[in-house]
Chains A and B, each alone.
Chain A
Amino acid sequence: MGLNTPEIELLGIAPEIALVVGALFILIVDAIIGEGGNKWHLWILSTIALGVSIFLAVQAWGSNELQMGDMIAVDGFAAFVKITLAVFALLTVWLSRSYLHRDGIEESEFYGLLLFAVAGMMLMASAADLIMVFLALETFSLALYVLVGFRRTSLTGQESAMKYFLLGAFSSTFLLLGIAFVYGAIGSTQMYGSSAAGAGAQGIATALVSLPAGEFTLLVIATGLLVVGLGFKVAAVPFHMWTPDAYQGAPSPVTGFMAAATKLAGFAALIRLLDAILFPLRGDWRPLVIGIAVLTMVVGSVLAVVQEDLKRLLAYSSIAHAGFVFTGIIASNDRGVSGSLFYLATYGITVLGAFAVIAVLGGRDERRTTVDDFRGLFYESPLLAGALTLFLLSLAGVPATVGFVGKLVVFGAAVEAGYSWLVVVGVLASAVAAFFYLKVLVVMYMQERQEGAEPATSGYGGLATGVIGLAALATVALGLYWSPLIDFAERATFFFSAGG
């Protein structure tokens, strides 16, 4: 019996390898150095690992092949997602340094787990086999469960980690069942089913061509289950139940990272599956995804209105934003895919900025995160209030911010694909959403500061300020001059294709 050893081509997963090696290095170095000290090496090393990872991801730009025994797709889509994920992680690392240092809970494990999570998310973006999707999903989920509960002394932190863990494990079973159905339908778990693995290597894409019509029942069931499993991760209604609790209890930098990067990773897998692989079955999955999109936009926006806690409010807003991304997926044309990528990238930057402001203002142990705590903020710290205003306006989709451009491109794609009524729903949901963003602004500008309130900003590092500044700059700059990023996203819409 001859063994079929896959060829080892490292370019495809080089960004992930850099992160894993970096994370292990950080863990071991810190374990050897031991307790105490300023721990400045942690964020420096993380930054270097992420920098190398970005460099390697850029190297893979322009490739179009399947690697590692057809498990990994190296294409423009994956490269775009990987670069964006690494940028999110960089901002998170810098913000976390300030946050953890202030709260006195800075540990090497935080940075290690964060890098492991990013590596998993990157694999998700280039997974060309459903088993790979599952492994990647578990890699970043397991790391995130711990990160969510990183404030070990906080009860809400523990509660949210537990909830996230239980519901995350539950959602994984749907994904696995979906994979099992795919295997039942076509006899493999490959997405593309192609080139080198030998004759008869079947994948979803090849099966959709070769199977006679009417044999797709199992694949349709599988698609539904896969959408449910991934829908949990991107917090789509009705699979959003964990989101508000997990977002509220997690440390603010982690919450921002989850809103930005977890969504991007989950949607990356969804986009590749629905818009590239299962494109021929779009008649079957579109009704399901349209239902999810409408529910997500409406429920997210409406429930956010009654929230008192700013982190919970942004959690519901992140649910609504997932719905807007779905409109781009439903369009499933080139503009839809590039629009979704653009939307996810810009939403991520904005929401990271918003959570950075909350991390700074929440104070030690995040005691002040209710909307009331932000009363009169403008009069005490106009710059932070201004930055938060900018982020909230961008999330609301006000022109001259990048949020407006993002909505414009995904809605434009949906109209092009003939889903004008869906866009109407989206615009109405945005109008509802604008209400609660403005509510926060009113509190910040038009109400008096509470008597005897603690000073809003106590002891945060220059790094957090830098993150807020960068995010604010990106929000405005991309809002006024968006074409480079859109071009980049448009050139990232090519998926692996055997033809070339």
Chain B
Amino acid sequence: MSLPAYLPILFLLVLSTLFAVASIWVSSKLGPRKWTVAKLQPYESGIVPEEGVAENERFPVKFYLVAMLFIIFDIETVFLYPWAVAYEELALFGLIEMGVFVGLLVAVYVYVWKRGGLEWAE
């Protein structure tokens, strides 16, 4: 392990930092600015955001809960695909492991369901 071996990495680091800073600076100086109402929207070409959110009001924490539940069950699918691909090779080991994994998620599902996490209305 010698220091000169790392010189190219250092060089790249400096160069990329310089490039990033320079491009932001140049575009802020040279780029034309024409504000329109559409451009000031959070999503320029998407759905109109909820009323109230734009006025700095709080929006329901339930959005957060839904997003979190989505990720939990989405990740489940992500893990199921590779298992399906390597099903033969993993054999019994894979079956047990996935059984444990899905079993844990079922437990979470029952918990969320019974606790009313899936209901939107208060």
Q: Which positions in A face B, CB cutoff 8 Å?
A: 2-3, 5, 8, 24, 27-28, 31-32, 34, 215
Q: Are A31 and B93 in contact (CB under 8 A)?
A: no
Say yes or no: A28 contacts B90, CB within 8 Å. Answer: no
Residue of B nearest to A31 (CB): B114
Question: What's the Cα separation between A3 and B96 when bound, in Å?
Answer: 16
Given contacts A27-B111, A28-B110, A31-B115, 17 further A-B contacts (CB under 8 A): A3-B86, A3-B89, A3-B90, A5-B91, A5-B93, A5-B94, A8-B93, A8-B96, A24-B104, A24-B107, A28-B107, A28-B111, A28-B114, A31-B110, A31-B111, A31-B114, A32-B110
Closest to A2 in B: B89
Bound-complex Cα distance A460 to B99 (A): 43
Of B1, B89, B107, most buried by chain A (CB within 10 Å of CB) is B107
| CB <8 Å contact, B90 and A5 | yes
Q: Find residues 66-93 in chain B having any chain A CB closer than 8 Å to their own CB.
A: 86, 89-91, 93
A32 to B107, CA, bound (A): 12
Task: Find chain A residues with CB under 8 A from B93 CB.
Answer: 5, 8
State the CA gap A24–B89 with chains docked (Å): 31
Residue on B nearest A20 in the bound complex, by CB: B104
Bound form: Cα–Cα A1–B15 in Å: 40
Query: Can you list the 3 inter-chain pairs with the closest CB atoms, starting with the nearest?
Result: A31-B114, A5-B93, A24-B107
* CA gap between A61 and B89 in the complex, in Å: 35
Residue interface bits B92-109, CB-to-A below 8 A is 1, else 0: 011010000000100100
13 of the cross-chain contacts (CB-CB < 8 Å) are A2-B89, A5-B90, A5-B91, A5-B93, A5-B94, A8-B93, A8-B96, A24-B104, A27-B107, A28-B114, A31-B111, A31-B114, A32-B114
Give the complex CA separation of A3 and B94 in angstroms. Answer: 11
Determine how close the nearest CB of chain B comes to the CB of A173; give it in whole angstroms: 20
Q: Give every chain B residue within 8 A of A3 (Cβ-Cβ).
A: 86, 89-90
**Which chain A positions have C-beta within 8 A of B96?**
8
Query: CA of A215 to CA of B2 in the docked complex: distance in angstroms?
Result: 12
A111 to B86, alpha carbons, bound, how many Å?
A: 38
For B94, what are the chain A residues with a Cβ–Cβ distance below 8 Å?
5
Q: Which residue of B lies closest to A3 (CB)?
A: B89
Cβ of A8: which chain B residues have Cβ within 8 Å of it? 93, 96
A212 to chain B, nearest CB (A): 12
For B89, list chain A residues within 8 Å (CB): 2-3
- Which residue of B has the minimal Cβ distance to A32? B114
Please, how many angstroms separate the alpha-carbon atoms of A398 and B122 in the complex? 57
Q: Complex: how many Å from CA A31 to CA B111?
A: 6
Q: Which residues of A contact B115 (CB under 8 A)?
A: 31
Q: Which residues of B contact A2 (CB under 8 A)?
A: 89
Q: How far is the CA of A34 from the CA of B113 in the complex (A)?
A: 12
Q: CA A5 – CA B96 in complex, angstroms?
A: 12
What CA separation (Å) do A361 and B92 show in the bound complex?
Answer: 55
Of chain B, the residue at the smallest CB distance from A215 is: B1
> Which B residues are in CB contact (< 8 Å) with A27?
107, 111
Complex: A215 Cα to B1 Cα, angstroms = 9
Question: How far is B93's CA from A32's CA once the two chains are assembled, in angstroms?
Answer: 32
Task: Return chain B residues, CB-CB under 8 Å to A32.
Answer: 110, 114
A5 to B90 Cα, complex, angstroms: 7
Instruction: Give the distance in Å from the alpha carbon of A85 to the alpha carbon of B89 in the complex.
Output: 39
Q: How far is the CA of A349 from the CA of B62 in the complex (A)?
A: 41
When C-beta atoms are compared, the residue in chain B nearest to A218 turns out to be: B1
Which residue of chain A lies nearest to B91 when distances are taken between CB atoms in the complex?
Answer: A5
B54 to A: closest C-beta gap in Å? 28
Most chain A Cβ neighbours within 10 Å, of B1, B90, B96:
B1
Q: Tell me the bound Cα distance from A27 to B104 in angstroms.
A: 12
Chain A's nearest CB lies how many Å from the CB of B6? 12
Nearest residue in A to B116 (C-beta to C-beta)?
Answer: A31
Q: Closest CB of chain B to A180's CB: distance in Å?
A: 15
Q: Please name the residue on chain A nearest to B86 by beta carbon.
A: A3
**Which residue on A lies nearest to B103, using beta carbons?**
A24
In the complex, what residues of A have CB within 8 A of residue B111's CB? 27-28, 31
Q: Which chain A residue shows the least CB distance to B110?
A: A28
CB distance from A326 to the nearest CB of B (A): 32
Name the A residues within 8 Å of B90 (CB-CB).
3, 5
Distance between A27 CB and nearest chain B CB, rounded to angstroms: 5
A2 to B114, CA, bound (A): 43
A401 to chain B, nearest CB (A): 44
**Chain A residues in 8 Å Cβ range of B86:** 3
Interchain nearest-CB distance for B81 vs A (Å): 16
B114 to chain A: which residues have CB within 8 Å?
A: 28, 31-32, 34
Q: Most B CB atoms within 10 A — which of A8, A27, A31, A215? A: A31
The CA of A8 and the CA of B89, in the complex, are separated in Å by 16
> What is the distance, in angstroms, from B109's C-beta to the closest C-beta of chain A?
10
Give the CA-CA distance A34 to B94 in the complex, in Å.
35
Instruction: Kindly provide the distance from the CB of B76 to the nearest chain A CB, expressed in whole angstroms.
Output: 16
Instruction: Write the nearest CB–CB distance from A49 to chain B, whole angstroms.
Output: 14
Residues of B within 8 A of A5 (CB): 90-91, 93-94
Write out the residue numbers on chain B whose beta carbons fall within 8 Å of the beta carbon of A28. Answer: 107, 110-111, 114
Minimum Cβ distance to chain A for residue B91 (Å): 8
B107: chain A residues at CB < 8 Å are 24, 27-28
Minimal beta-carbon separation of A29 from chain B (angstroms): 10
